[in-house]
């Protein structure tokens, strides 16, 4: 695991205050607001094959499940800029993230990488999560994986990388 992963996990363990969550969610969209009718229509518009079309229909049918999962997940303060350029090691061997300009309130699982074997690492990380925060006791490792995949799908969609968003759907459907 990298220091970036460790810092994301530490962030998952910190509970933002209810007032902060409420104020933030009133002012900025989060993952909770990404998957609307326009999102689904855009996916339908970019399918290239019958298999992709079937995947989008299945994804659409599972949207209530995904929305419910997003809404029930504990929130955390997410920083998309946690990376080697923004992490400073201190004299006591602790680390400080120097850029918090783009923070947001998101469901736990957001920000975890989905490439390589990163998703499978969540299985072993999951065992220690409930020790960090009591709301994480009922969170399954598959829940974290689904949130990570939905976040990456949303990110690809916002960048107009629709094919990349489509390619995430089969991974989601295997877990859901």
**Alpha helices, DSSP H only, in 47-137?**
50-61, 63-72, 118-132
| pLDDT at residue 58, rounded to an integer | 97
Please give the structure tokens belonging to residue 144. Answer: 């974290």
pLDDT band at 137 (very low <50, low <70, confident <90, very high): confident
Distance in angstroms (rounded) separating the CA atoms of residues 117 and 132 = 23
Mean pLDDT throughout 21-31? 84
Instruction: Say if CB 162 and CB 42 are below 8 A apart.
Output: yes
Mean pLDDT throughout 83-96? 86
| pLDDT at residue 1, rounded to an integer | 62
What pTM was computed for the model? 0.90
Distance in angstroms (rounded) separating the CA atoms of residues 63 and 65 = 5
Residue with tokens 């607001």: 33
Segment 29-45, tens digit of pLDDT: 788 888 888 899 999 99
């Amino acid at each position: 695991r990298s220091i970036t992963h460790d810092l994301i996990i530490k962030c998952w363990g910190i509970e933002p205050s209810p007032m902060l969550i409420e104020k933030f969610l009133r002012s900025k969209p989060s993952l909770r607001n990404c998957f609307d009718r326009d999102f689904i229509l855009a996916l339908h518009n970019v399918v290239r094959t019958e298999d992709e079309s079937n995947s989008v229909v299945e994804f659409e049918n599972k949207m209530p499940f995904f929305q419910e999962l997003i809404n029930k997940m504990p929130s955390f303060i997410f920083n998309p800029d946690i990376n080697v350029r923004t992490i400073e090691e201190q004299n006591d061997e602790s680390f400080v993230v120097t850029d918090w300009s783009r923070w947001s309130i998101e469901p736990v699982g957001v920000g975890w990488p989905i490439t390589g074997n990163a998703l499978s690492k969540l299985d072993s990380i999951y065992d220690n999560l409930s020790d960090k925060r009591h709301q994480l006791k009922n969170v399954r490792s598959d829940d974290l994986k689904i949130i990570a995949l939905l976040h990456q799908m949303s990110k690809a969609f916002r960048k107009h990388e629709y094919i990349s968003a489509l390619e995430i759907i089969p991974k989601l459907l295997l877990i859901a």
